[in-house]
C-alpha cells in the first residue's frame, strides 16, 4: 500500500483529503507542521502533501521538505491559497500544487499520477520469466510475442504489476486506475481482469490473483 504523509497545521479530522485518500487505497499518515522534517524519511512515504498556511510564504514552508535527508526522490505537493499560486509555480522542485478549496477526488487523482510516474521512472520494464511488461513502450510480450492490450487493460495490468503482492479492492482499482472521472460500477474491473488473463495465457494468467472478499493482486508464478 502506497504511503502519503499529509503535513498540516490542522488536526487530521479537519483535513477532508485524509479520509478520501484512505478510501482510495492509500496509507495516510497525518503529521503536524510544527514537527518539521525530523524522522520523516523513516516513514518511507511515496508522496508528501504540505498544507501551507495562508499567512506564510509557500517557499519557506515547503523547501525544508524538498531538501530533507532521504526525501529528494519523494514528490511533494503543496495545498495553497489562490493568491499563492505564482509563488508555488516558481519552486522548481515542487512536484505539483493545488489551490484551496480543492476537490478531494481531484487531489486523489493527482497523487495517483505522481506516484505511478515515480515508479515507472525507476523501473522501465517488469519481467517475469517470458512475460515482459515494457512500461515506456506500452507493450506486453509473452515468450517474445507481442500481445495487444487496450489502453485500460494495460493501465490495470501495469498498476498491479508495479504493486506486486499488494491486494486492492475493486473500488480502489477504479479510483487508482480509472480515475475520478469514471462513474461505472466495479464489474468493469472484473471484465478487464478476465480479458487480461485470457491474453496472458495459461502460464501467466494465474499471476493476477483473485483475493476473496477483497479484490485482486499481482503475484507472478515462476516456472
Q: What is the pLDDT at residue 184?
A: 64
Average pLDDT, the chain: 83
H or E element that contains 113: helix 104-122
| Average pLDDT of span 103-128 | 69
Q: What is the pLDDT at residue 193?
A: 96
This prediction's pTM: 0.55
Distance CA 82, CA 89 (A): 12
Q: What is the pLDDT at residue 20?
A: 76
CA angle 66–69–72, rounded 5-degree value: 45
- Cell numbers representing residue 59 in the block: 517557499
Q: What is the pLDDT at residue 1?
A: 60
CA angle 145–149–155, rounded 5-degree value: 125
Contacts of 219 (CB under 8 A, 6+ apart): 164, 165, 207, 209
Tell me the per-residue pLDDT of 4-34, one tens digit each, with 9 for 90 and over.
999 998 887 777 778 778 877 788 899 999 9
Range of lowest pLDDT (53-57, 111-115, 149-153, 204-208): 111-115
- Give the domains, in start order, of the chain with CATH numbers: 3-118 (3.40.50.2300), 123-218 (1.10.10.10)
- Cell numbers representing residue 216 in the block: 485482486
Distance CA 53, CA 70 (A): 25
Contacts of 44 (CB under 8 A, 6+ apart): 3
Amino acid at each position: 500500500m502506497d504511503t502519503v504523509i499529509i503535513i498540516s497545521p490542522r488536526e487530521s479530522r479537519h483535513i477532508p483529503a485524509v479520509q478520501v485518500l484512505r478510501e482510495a487505497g492509500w496509507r495516510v499518515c497525518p503529521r503536524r507542521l510544527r514537527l518539521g522534517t525530523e524522522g520523516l524519511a523513516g516513514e518511507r512515504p511515496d508522496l508528501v502533501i504540505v498544507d501551507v498556511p495562508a499567512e506564510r510564504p509557500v517557499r519557506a514552508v515547503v523547501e525544508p521538505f524538498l531538501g530533507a535527508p532521504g526525501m529528494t526522490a519523494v514528490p511533494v505537493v503543496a495545498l495553497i491559497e489562490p493568491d499563492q499560486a505564482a509563488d508555488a509555480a516558481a519552486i522548481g522542485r515542487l512536484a505539483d500544487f493545488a489551490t484551496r478549496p480543492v476537490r478531494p477526488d481531484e487531489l486523489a487523482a493527482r497523487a495517483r499520477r505522481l506516484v505511478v510516474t515515480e515508479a515507472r521512472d525507476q523501473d522501465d520494464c517488469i519481467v517475469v520469466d517470458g512475460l515482459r511488461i515494457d512500461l515506456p513502450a506500452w507493450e506486453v510480450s509473452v515468450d517474445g510475442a507481442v500481445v495487444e492490450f487496450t489502453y485500460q487493460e494495460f493501465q490495470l495490468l501495469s498498476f498491479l504489476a508495479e504493486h506486486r503482492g499488494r491486494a486492492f479492492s475493486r473500488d480502489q482499482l477504479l479510483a487508482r486506475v480509472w480515475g475520478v472521472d469514471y462513474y461505472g460500477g466495479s464489474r468493469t474491473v472484473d471484465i478487464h481482469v478476465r480479458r487480461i488473463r485470457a491474453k496472458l495465457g495459461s502460464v501467466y494468467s494465474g499471476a493476477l490473483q483473485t483475493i476473496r472478499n477483497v479484490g485482486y493482486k499481482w503475484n507472478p508464478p515462476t516456472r
